[in-house]
Amino acid sequence: MENRVDIKERMNAIEPSAVWSEAGDGMFKVPVSAFRGLAERLRNKEGFDFLRSLTGMDWGEEGLGCVYHLENTSTGENIVLSTADTDRENASLPSVHDLWKGANINEREAYDFFGIKFIGHPDLRRFFLRDDWKGYPLRKDYDPSLNPLNMENEGNEDEAPSYEMTPDGSYILKRHPLFEDQEYVINIGPQHPATHGVLRFRVSLEGETIKKLDVHSGYIHRGIEKLCETLNYPQTLGFTDRLDYLGAMQNRHALCACIEKAMGLEVSERILYIRTIMDELQRIDSHLLFIACLCQDMGALTVFFFGFRDREKILDILEQTTGGRLIQTYNTIGGVQADIHPEFVRKVKDFIKYMRPKLNEYNEIFTGNVIAQQRLKGTGVLSREDAISFGATGGTGRASGWACDVRKRHPYAMYGKVDFKEITYTEGDCFARYMVRLKEIEQSLNIIEQLIDNIPEGEYQMKVKPVIKLPEGSWYTAVEGSRGEFGVFIESHGDKSPYRMKFRSTGLPLVSCIDTISRNAKIADLIAIGGTLDYVVPDIDR
Amino acid sequence: MKRNVNIKSMKYEDFNDNEYIEQMLKELRDNGTNVIVGCLDDVIEWGRSNSLWPLTFATSCCGIEFMAIGAARYDFARFGFEVARSSPRQADFIMVAGTITHKMAPVLKRLYDQMADPKYVIATGGCAISGGPFKKSYHVVDGVDKIIPVDVYIPGCPPRPEAMLYGLMQLQRKVKAQRFLGGLNKGISEKEYERLMREDTNKAEDLKEYDESGLA
Amino acid sequence: MFDFGIITNWIHTQLTAVMSEGAAVFLECVIIGICLLLLYVVIAIIMIYMERKVCAAFQCRLGPVRVGPWGSIQVICDVFKMLTKEIITIRHSDKFLYNLAPYIVILASVMAFACIPISRGLEILDFNVGVLFFMAASSIGIVGILLAGWSSNSKYSLIGAMRSGAQMISYELSVGLSILTIVVLTDTMQFSEIVMRQADGWFIFKGHIPAVIAFVIYLIAGNAEVNRGPFDLPEAESELTAGYHTEYSGMHFGLFYVAEFVNLFIISGIAATIFLGGWMPLHIPGLDGFNAVMDAIPGFIWFFAKAFFIVWLLMWIKWTFPRLRIDQILTLEWKYLVPIGLLNLLLMVIVVVFKLHF
């Protein structure tokens, strides 16, 4: 199903100054002066309530700007906007954080990487890099020698700068305190057992109750997007596995699919089957790890071992075909690395037979446990509106009642042809988030069951030239990763390496909503909330 | 005096870099040692090598494999790496599992400083050893040995759990070959310690808004 | 049933033969003190080993296997390691209190440990208000934990200490109430006497319904009292890294670690003594042959078997249940356990007054 673009026809009436550009997926180029008004109209009148992705861009002469991918969640309509400010020294764009809450951190990211000032953004600090970082690394003219390794401990910036418009059209810098002097602020992370990696929260407490929470990230920011710009397309594939290592297959699938779309390459049915099965195996693996880690964080250590025990079975299957346990580097542009192992089909079937009864074990030891229920039910409630506004996709969004599964919204690979149920809950609390994942394991097993016997004969790798050049244009492809919509945005200027490659992190929206949903919760709830949101930090930081 | 660096039910020849350990033993033997101190030392090293508690520290992919060696199939509790401590004060070694970025580097250094002596560092995976696939990045430290001293390197991306167990055993062998009494136990005086601490304090107070909570 | 009192009395007469009464008593005190500490350490080592093996079994693992047969001397290695670790001085901490705290915890633990009657004639502290003394001694530990958290100059420690303060003081109440229920049944507070009264049946059988309720409350509250899962909030690993002992290293941390495990044993030992007859063998009135066979098994084996059974029970709970939240812990105590405990006490009084017990 193609993205519906009948908005294209209506656009002329909505904003005549928007220019349609055909290259790639196509997008509307909007002048900065008209952008804010257009965004408001699209959000409020046209119902584009989901900001799929916000990508900062450096277009050289054309200035610095952003690409916005919007979706109307009720009609499924999609639109891509771009806007740019030609003043490189003082690039400024109007902020849209009040229209889409998810834009908040995405704009901070764009500020961090490109130095674009978002007028009206309440808290325009750096998000990934240190506060004393010089320059903006994703600009094309960035000089890496500006920032040698700095071993000084990082100070805490307690003031949030914001740029506000004055009536005469210029803007002024204001500073707001983040925490008052009297507040009891504790630091959770970056090295903390419950942050699932190196995320850092500064939490203002009153007794045990959380008053405010400030997320710091970037402790594992490896600059993958910048690195991709220097590599050719096949080389960029290696990084995707290391973004969200629990969704290695899906991430790589997204990038391969995006490049294939740009090349206009159709892959054989066999490849689609294999990719779908692998994605689902990876999803089960990730959800098992989710359950394991959640239970460990909540103190039920034994379930942690159960989760890992069952997970090893999947890793065995993956390893036999791909050669890797955690990072498989399996998908390639136009196919997969190697054909499936002769025993693959039998082993997957054995696994399905093994896994179904094991799910009951989790129900018995954890789901039905009165303490677990007491702790999870009613804590960290994320409303449906907030979930959409933040762009919190995946299990988190579905637990809030938002049917956000990319497999259903924009079916890819074999997902349009298999029969599976999209699990949604309406509570939006930690327990719903947990149950969604538990139930999704079953659905994934169903999907695999439908496909495993029918893998058609065919090529496992299409013929692809060793040097791949994409035509000019920009493309966005999304897959349903283990923890939400994982999107790849490529802008090509016709070279053998991308001009800009952006990965829509699945975890970033999840982390941006953590402040909202953990207010007035207990500090122990924060652990449960973090556990059930199920983010992976390297995926946030990229 | 041949010191025993064997690991139970592992062949000596199965380990790869025996020359390093032998060199280390030779240097120790050259100095000669008192019999009683030597025996006591053997007992201490035996105890220490079989009770190395890791710090739960992971930044990226290797961390998942680190969890896997703690889990049922690989179970590093068998060798005495039982109790993964979350507080650096109580841990014996830090397994640097994952990429270390510029922002993380001071934190890692601080964690290392917070650990109680004797402490060890294992660099796990390509990223920790040399920066791995991200070596050319503007925000990645190419090798943790630039920041903290590394005892054992475990290559791989990520290393298999078997490789990690092998690396952990190599650490055990290294600990067994060391000498706690004389050498490893620096035993600096209370006065010296106070002085160092004060130096450090003054430096810290220069930093505006120094976070007192201690744990990074 | 063998009475260890014979041996101790014999030693006493031998000693008084060669020295004055006062000197003999002093020497005995020293010997007993040393024996007590030795037993304390042995119990600690057994408990830690048991914990590792039991949790490994629950988690489909092997646990330690390399050092000694079945990894049995693994804990000795840990002790060597702990002893040789650096003890870090914390900047801006209250040094005196910081160093004092672990010793207070261990002192409270040893004092409570001394109350447990291990076998006939093997009671160290045994006097007519033994139960009261036990309650008092074991609650000193809270002071140590609060001090540790307060003096560490770390926010995690402080939160951990405050949590444990709130939790342990609350649950002290339920422990007291459930012990009191049995005291009502026995009308004595002396531990040896409590055990002797169970010669014709353990209290859990004799006191039937109220005793069983008291036993369950005691297990829950006792578990919370020693900060074990699912009540391990003060040191909740995933929330506060290590809670009140976050900043402690080396042997100071070791003392907390040991005290935690021995406290678990003490709670189990007291449960065994009060509800399951302590060292008293299983006697069924009327079956003399059976009773004689049971008597052949030495008392201390009975005691340790019962105590370790309860330890195992508590470990099972710990490794199965997720952790509670602080408000849930306090709700459980103040809204459920205390009222139930009070009603249960009343019920026991009725049972005793109307002689409804066996």
Helix spans in A56-102 (H): none
What is the least distance, in Å, from the CA of B27 to any CA of chain C? 23
Helix spans in B50-189 (H): 61-70, 105-114, 125-130, 161-177
Question: Range of B25's domain?
Answer: 13-206
In the chain, the amino acid numbered C183 is: V
d(CA A193, CA A196): 7
Task: Tell me phi and psi for residue A474, to 5 degrees.
Answer: -135, 145
3-state secondary structure A275-303: HHHHHHHHHHHHHHHHHHHHHHHCCCHHH
d(CA A146, CA C216): 66
Complex-level ipTM: 0.83
Tokens of B40: 């006591």
User: Residue B145 domain-assigned?
Assistant: yes
A175 has pLDDT over 80: no
Architecture of the CATH domain A7-178:
2-Layer Sandwich (3.30)
Answer left, alpha or beta for residue A232, where phi above 0 means left and psi between -120 and 50 means alpha: beta
Helix (H) or strand (E) holding A105: helix A103-114
Chain A residues with beta carbon closer than 8 angstroms to that of C159: 186, 205, 208, 523
Chain B touched by A278 (CB under 8 Å)? no
A132 has pLDDT over 70: yes
What is the least distance, in Å, from the CA of B166 to any CA of chain C? 15
Query: Are C331 and C231 in contact, with CB atoms under 8 Å apart?
Result: no
What subunits make at least 3 CB pairs under 8 angstroms with B? A, C
In the chain, the amino acid numbered C113 is: F
What is the least distance, in Å, from the CA of C56 to any CA of chain A? 9
Q: How high is the pLDDT of residue A6?
A: 67
Q: β-strand B120-124 against A64-71: which pairing, if any?
A: unpaired
pLDDT tens for A441-459 read: 888 888 888 888 888 888 8
- Measured from the Cβ of residue B171, the count of other Cβ atoms closer than 10 Å reads 22
pTM, two decimals, is 0.87
B201 has pLDDT over 70: no
Q: How high is the pLDDT of residue B202?
A: 55
Chain A residues with beta carbon closer than 8 angstroms to that of C156: 186
Chain C residues with beta carbon closer than 8 angstroms to that of B94: none
Q: Which residues contact A334 (CB under 8 A, 6 or more apart)?
A: A256, A260, A263, A265, A267, A271, A461, A462, A463, A464
User: Residue B212 domain-assigned?
Assistant: no
What percentage of chain C's residues is helix, strand, coil (to nearest 5)? 75, 0, 25
CATH number of A224-455+467-541: 1.10.645.10
Q: How high is the pLDDT of residue B78?
A: 83
User: Residue B211 domain-assigned?
Assistant: no
Partner-chain contact C238 A295, CB within 8 Å: no
Q: How high is the pLDDT of residue A406?
A: 85
DSSP E strands in chain C: the ranges are none
**For the residues A502-515, what does the mean pLDDT come to?**
87
d(CA A445, CA B212): 50
What is the least distance, in Å, from the CA of B70 to any CA of chain C? 10
**Domains identified in chain B, total number:** 1
| Closest Cβ opposite residue A371 in set C237, C238, C324 | C324
Mutating which of C59, C227, C238, C327 best tests the A interface, going by the most A Cβ atoms within 10 A? C238
pLDDT tens for C215-258 read: 999 999 988 888 887 888 766 666 777 778 888 888 888 888 88
Chain A residues with beta carbon closer than 8 angstroms to that of C91: none
**For the residues A374-402, what does the mean pLDDT come to?**
87
According to DSSP, the residues that pair with A24 across neighbouring strands are: A474
Mean model confidence pLDDT for chain C: 84
Mean model confidence pLDDT for chain A: 84
What are the strands of the beta sheet with B152-154, ordered from one edge? B54-55, B93-97, B120-124, B152-154
Domain ranges for chain A, please list them.
7-178, 224-455+467-541
Answer left, alpha or beta for residue A301, where phi above 0 means left and psi between -120 and 50 means alpha: alpha
User: CB-based burial of residue B175 (10 Å sphere; 0-12 exposed, 13-18 middle, 19+ buried)?
Assistant: buried
Mutating which of C58, C72, C85 best tests the B interface, going by the most B Cβ atoms within 10 A? C85
Tokens of C41: 């350490």
Q: How high is the pLDDT of residue B208?
A: 45
According to DSSP, the residues that pair with A485 across neighbouring strands are: A480
Partner-chain contact C77 B214, CB within 8 Å: no
d(CA C239, CA C226): 18
Tokens of C109: 């633990």
What percentage of chain A's residues is helix, strand, coil (to nearest 5)? 40, 20, 40
Q: How high is the pLDDT of residue B212?
A: 45
User: CB-based burial of residue C328 (10 Å sphere; 0-12 exposed, 13-18 middle, 19+ buried)?
Assistant: middle
Chain B residues with beta carbon closer than 8 angstroms to that of C71: 78
Partner-chain contact A296 C58, CB within 8 Å: no
Nearest chain C residue to A310 by CA: give it.
C60
Q: C91 vs B200, B202, C138, CA distance in Å?
A: 10, 12, 31
pLDDT tens for A40-60 read: 888 888 888 888 888 888 887
What subunits make at least 3 CB pairs under 8 angstroms with A? B, C
Chain A residues with beta carbon closer than 8 angstroms to that of C233: 524
d(CA B84, CA B70): 9
Nearest to B104 by CA among A218, C333, A4, A265: A218
User: Residue B214 domain-assigned?
Assistant: no
d(CA C316, CA A302): 10
What subunits make at least 3 CB pairs under 8 angstroms with C? A, B
Tokens of C325: 């939240």
Q: A57 vs A116, A226, A474, A501, A540, CA distance in Å?
A: 9, 12, 12, 10, 18
Helix spans in A323-454 (H): 344-362, 370-376, 384-390, 394-399, 406-409, 430-452
Answer left, alpha or beta for residue C333, where phi above 0 means left and psi between -120 and 50 means alpha: alpha
A408 has pLDDT over 60: yes
State the distance between the two ends of chain C, measured CA to CA, in whole angstroms: 23
What is the least distance, in Å, from the CA of B152 to any CA of chain A? 21
pLDDT over 90 for what percent of chain C?
A: 3
Partner-chain contact A298 C322, CB within 8 Å: yes
Mutating which of A179, A198, A217 best tests the B interface, going by the most B Cβ atoms within 10 A? A198
Partner-chain contact C77 B51, CB within 8 Å: yes
- Residue A170 or B73, more confident: B73
Q: How high is the pLDDT of residue B214?
A: 43
B209 has pLDDT over 70: no
B210 has pLDDT over 50: no
A100 has pLDDT over 80: yes
Q: How high is the pLDDT of residue A236?
A: 87
What is the least distance, in Å, from the CA of B119 to any CA of chain C? 9
Partner-chain contact C322 A300, CB within 8 Å: yes
Query: Are B86 and C241 in contact, with CB atoms under 8 Å apart?
Result: yes
Query: Are B144 and B150 in contact, with CB atoms under 8 Å apart?
Result: yes
Nearest chain A residue to C322 by CA: give it.
A300
Where residue B213 falls among pLDDT bands split at 50, 70, 90? very low
- Residue C53 or C283, more confident: C53
Partner-chain contact C241 B87, CB within 8 Å: yes
Chain C residues with beta carbon closer than 8 angstroms to that of B203: none
According to DSSP, the residues that pair with B85 across neighbouring strands are: B55
Chain A residues with beta carbon closer than 8 angstroms to that of C327: 208, 522
- Number of inter-chain CB pairs under 8 A, A vs C: 83
Partner-chain contact B59 A186, CB within 8 Å: no
Chain A residues with beta carbon closer than 8 angstroms to that of B86: 192-193
pLDDT tens for A245-261 read: 888 888 888 888 888 88
Chain A residues with beta carbon closer than 8 angstroms to that of C323: 298-300, 371, 375, 524
pLDDT tens for C296-335 read: 788 788 888 888 999 998 888 888 888 888 888 888 889 9
User: Residue B3 domain-assigned?
Assistant: no
In the chain, the amino acid numbered A277 is: I
What is the least distance, in Å, from the CA of C255 to any CA of chain A? 23
d(CA C314, CA A481): 41
B46 has pLDDT over 60: yes
User: Residue B4 domain-assigned?
Assistant: no
CATH number for the domain that contains residue B55: 3.40.50.12280
Query: Are A247 and A286 in contact, with CB atoms under 8 Å apart?
Result: yes
Where residue A171 falls among pLDDT bands split at 50, 70, 90? confident
B34 has pLDDT over 70: no
B205 has pLDDT over 70: no
Chain A residues with beta carbon closer than 8 angstroms to that of C322: 295, 298-300, 366, 369, 371-372, 375
Burial of B153-170, coded b for 16+ CB within 10 Å and e otherwise, reads: bbbbbbbbbebbbbbbbb
Nearest chain B residue to A218 by CA: give it.
B103
State the distance between the two ends of chain A, measured CA to CA, in whole angstroms: 30
CA atoms within 13 A on the CB side of A320: 14
User: Residue B8 domain-assigned?
Assistant: no
pLDDT tens for C160-201 read: 888 888 888 888 888 989 988 888 888 888 888 888 888 777
Nearest chain A residue to B140 by CA: give it.
A222
Nearest chain C residue to A293 by CA: give it.
C238
Partner-chain contact C325 A301, CB within 8 Å: no
d(CA C345, CA C181): 5
Helix axis angle, A430-452 to A269-297, nearest 10°: 150
Where residue B32 falls among pLDDT bands split at 50, 70, 90? low
d(CA B122, CA C270): 45
Query: Are B214 and C154 in contact, with CB atoms under 8 Å apart?
Result: yes
Angle of CA points C12, C15, C21, to nearest 5°: 80
Partner-chain contact B158 A153, CB within 8 Å: no
Answer left, alpha or beta for residue A223, where phi above 0 means left and psi between -120 and 50 means alpha: left
What is the least distance, in Å, from the CA of B99 to any CA of chain A? 7
Where residue C343 falls among pLDDT bands split at 50, 70, 90? very high
Q: Which residues contact A459 (CB under 8 A, 6 or more apart)?
A: A268, A270, A271, A335
pLDDT tens for A322-347 read: 888 888 888 888 888 888 888 888 88
What is the least distance, in Å, from the CA of B31 to any CA of chain C? 23
pLDDT tens for A281-318 read: 888 999 998 888 888 888 888 888 888 888 888 888 88
Where residue C340 falls among pLDDT bands split at 50, 70, 90? very high
d(CA C226, CA C224): 5
